[in-house]
Amino acid sequence: MHVIEKKLHGGLSDETLREFGERLTYLRNLEARKEEVKNSIEAQGKLTDEILSSLEIANTLAEVEDIYRPYKQKKKTRATVAKAKGLEPLANIILEQKETKPLNEIAEEYVTKKENIDESTPKETIVQNIEEAIQGAKDIIAETISDNPEYRKQIKRRCYREGFIVTKATKPEEKTAYNMYYDFNEKINRLPSHRILAINRGEKEEYLKVKLDKNEEDIINYIKRDIIKGQTQFTEILEETILDSWERLIEPSIDREIRSDLTEKAEIQAIKVFGKNAKPLLLAAPLKGYTVMGFDPAYRTGCKIAVIDETGKLLDTTTVYPTEPQNDIEGAKTKLKELIKKYNVNIIAIGNGTASRESESFVSNMIKEIDEDVHYAIVSEAGASVYSASKLATEEYPDINVSLRGAISIARRLQDPLAELVKIDPKAIGVGQYQHDVDQKKLTESLTGVVEDAVNEVGVDVNTATPSLLSYVSGINKTIAGNIVKYRDENGKIKERKELLKVAKLGKAAFEQCAGFIRIPGGTNPLEITAVHPESYEIAEKLLEKVGYKTKDLLDKEKIKEIRLKLAEIKLQETAKELEVGEMTLKDIIEELSKPGRDPRDEMPKQILRADVLKFEDLIEGMVLSGTVRNVTDFGAFVDIGVKHDGLVHISQLSNSFVKNPSDVVSVGDIVKVKVIGIDTERQKVQLSMKDV
């Protein structure tokens, strides 16, 4: 949010505003659905004060649907067939339990008389005998019980409070990722999101059978107590009907709803986890001012190499074969040493995919043989292949082979993670839990919001940004982003933010949204490198004047130090009144003028640069290492300590204190100290701890 808008929402974070927006949308949908349901019941002439009251106090869409269930237009069911035969009055007599005449005599009155049947009589209205009449009445009662919103509400409540999820293996002899669920049960209200999604996936892949275990006897007795009014001729029939309603209608339906509800909540949590992980990855500290060699590992097809300068411009590409089957280690070393010397390469970025560790070992040995000060870093290559084959990559590098584009992407990810990662579908950036199992539309919407927040937090240099990066700026869509690039291609560098108003389709409303996030280094006004919105330039200039400086002084490093000290002495309330501006807006302007042109990513943890390789065999229990957090889930964090597979710090090992949510302790990209507490050589898995290190 730019400074003009902050006073409108009290300085809430983008994440909080987004959550408010989602909640508001839900509540609006809830009110709209209540109105639809009310109108539908009213049109049937069945609306009562009781229904209106129930709708009014309903807090969820599920509650509204339960209220509507008895009045919903149903497809053909056993009850609708019975109603078509005119058996509803008989069902009501049985439910009322007042009639003293024998049931068979009552039911006989509903049997269609033979003399009343001719060729024109619809078959679906004929009741053949007493048994059919009674069975039809029972079917109507069973559906009435099933549709009762109060029963459904109480049954669901009991299931959530006392029920268990129970899973069994379909192929117990097979070892799979679902071994822990082969004979598993856990209370429904304690089941964490990641387990729900794991169970769902295991069921979908047909490794697991899943059922909800609940106290059926207790539930059936609860319904009986409400329906059966003492011992009558109808008691046995009602008991049979209640059991039928439970087994045939209520239980399957309630189970589906509970599973669906659990899945929805688990998906929401998984999407939140993905967003929380994606943002620090996007905001990872860039390695500025270095020439980087991108190293995309492979076996048979060779390792692809790309060298880029400190601005990200491609200098050279090649392919070397230091891995199997060629094992041309000496030839590869000669070629890479030549490139390092020719372009003064400082850092080698190695992709973490296939053949990564063999490539790391090769690079580490090569570095020992050269005089230049060169380090390497392992970089996530998730999504690099997706980018390489994309239309965007083809437009950026039309003459470069698809396989070599991956090496360029890997190098650039180290140099400017945000600018590179926005080119990739957020789902493919390699963080999160079960992201492919959740509602893809909701995931995309959430991640788009996260990317927008990250881009807006950093700001965008309008003269160097790609259309991909520009399109994530608030107020700028893909069309406008393309038009900005076209405008600067035709007219040269943009000198001031107001010039954006000349860009096709970028109107006043879009300008108001985007201007605070646009940066113009070397622009006509030094304020163009800050997040101060053009609408607040006058206030910023008056503020600088008040402390004895001009905007041009923002370009002088020594004077910035002086300005920062003077601004720190400003009395906020008094100055806000004097300049006729909100305190929050003034506070933001002071912050921007104190650090003009700062990149918030510079304060993020820096990438670990290595010069030597750590092998799995080198690990010893008790060893303390530095590592980079690669992923955070509900059950812990995965940390890259330099061996082939990331180690797991379980939630119980994240801190000496109780941890409710791993995201409260660590974020993707954090550099952490960990202790090795478990080594599984067979499965190449490492257990880590952050306690007492």
The domain spanning residue 549 has which CATH number?
Answer: 1.10.150.310
Domain count across the chain: 4
Q: Which amino acid is at 566?
A: K
User: Residue 4: its pLDDT value, please?
Assistant: 42
SS3 content of the chain, % helix, strand, coil (to 5): 55, 10, 35
Q: By mean pLDDT, which of 154-163, 183-192, 350-359 is the weakest?
A: 350-359
User: Residue 483: its pLDDT value, please?
Assistant: 95
Q: Indicate if 624 and 595 belong to the same structural domain.
A: no
Q: List helix spans (H) across 97-230.
A: 103-108, 130-147, 149-162, 193-204, 216-227
User: Residue 8: its pLDDT value, please?
Assistant: 55
Nearest 5 degrees, angle CA 101-CA 105-CA 107? 110
Residue 241 lies in a domain: no
Find the mean pLDDT for residues 490-505: 93
Residue 238 lies in a domain: no
Residue 643 lies in a domain: yes
Domain boundary among 395, 415, 435: 415
Which CATH number belongs to the domain containing residue 22 in this structure?
1.10.10.650
> Which run of H or E residues covers position 563?
helix 557-568
User: Residue 378: its pLDDT value, please?
Assistant: 86
The number of CA neighbours under 13 Å toward the Cβ of 387 is: 27
Helix (H, G, I), strand (E, B) or coil at 610: strand
Residue 239 lies in a domain: no
What is the band of 504 on the pLDDT scale with cuts at 50, 70, 90?
very high
Residue 128 lies in a domain: no
| Whole-angstrom distance, CA of residue 69 vs CA of residue 67 | 6
Q: Indicate if 485 and 395 belong to the same structural domain.
A: no
Please determine, for residue 398, whether its predicted confidence score (pLDDT) is greater than 60.
yes
Residue 233 lies in a domain: no
- Going by their DSSP bridges, the two strands 347-351 and 292-296 should be labelled as parallel
**Region of 304 on the Ramachandran plot (φ > 0 left; ψ -120 to 50 alpha; else beta):** beta
Q: Which amino acid is at 214?
A: K
pLDDT digits (tens, 9 = 90+) for 545-576: 989 999 998 988 888 889 989 898 888 888 88
Q: Across the strands, what pairs with 685?
A: 680
Q: Indicate if 583 and 644 belong to the same structural domain.
A: no
User: Residue 7: its pLDDT value, please?
Assistant: 53
When the pLDDT of each residue in the chain is averaged and rounded to a whole number, the result is: 89
Check: CB of residue 236 under 8 Å from CB of residue 623. Answer: no
User: Residue 353: its pLDDT value, please?
Assistant: 81
Q: List helix spans (H) across 344-438.
A: 356-368, 384-388, 391-396, 402-415, 417-421
Which CATH number belongs to the domain containing residue 680 in this structure?
2.40.50.140
Q: Indicate if 391 and 312 belong to the same structural domain.
A: yes
Domain boundary among 577, 603, 629: 603
Which CATH number belongs to the domain containing residue 372 in this structure?
3.30.420.140
Find the mean pLDDT for residues 417-432: 81
Residue 667 lies in a domain: yes
Check: CB of residue 195 under 8 Å from CB of residue 186. Answer: yes
Q: Indicate if 393 and 491 belong to the same structural domain.
A: no
User: Residue 495: its pLDDT value, please?
Assistant: 93
| Whole-angstrom distance, CA of residue 515 vs CA of residue 3 | 11
Q: Indicate if 595 and 623 belong to the same structural domain.
A: no
Helix (H, G, I), strand (E, B) or coil at 685: strand
Token readout for 482 is 């393309």
Nearest 5 degrees, angle CA 228-CA 230-CA 233? 85
What is the band of 1 on the pLDDT scale with cuts at 50, 70, 90?
very low
Give the position of tokens 């006004």: 525
Q: Indicate if 520 and 633 belong to the same structural domain.
A: no
What is the band of 611 on the pLDDT scale with cuts at 50, 70, 90?
low
Q: Indicate if 561 and 485 belong to the same structural domain.
A: yes
Q: Indicate if 583 and 653 belong to the same structural domain.
A: no
Domain boundary among 415, 434, 462: 415
Residue 95 lies in a domain: no
Which residues span the domain enclosing 592? Answer: 478-603
The distance of Cα 345 from the centroid of its chain, to the nearest Å, equals 37
Q: Indicate if 597 and 483 belong to the same structural domain.
A: yes
Q: Indicate if 314 and 404 belong to the same structural domain.
A: yes
Q: Indicate if 297 and 408 belong to the same structural domain.
A: yes
User: Residue 403: its pLDDT value, please?
Assistant: 86
pTM of the model: 0.75
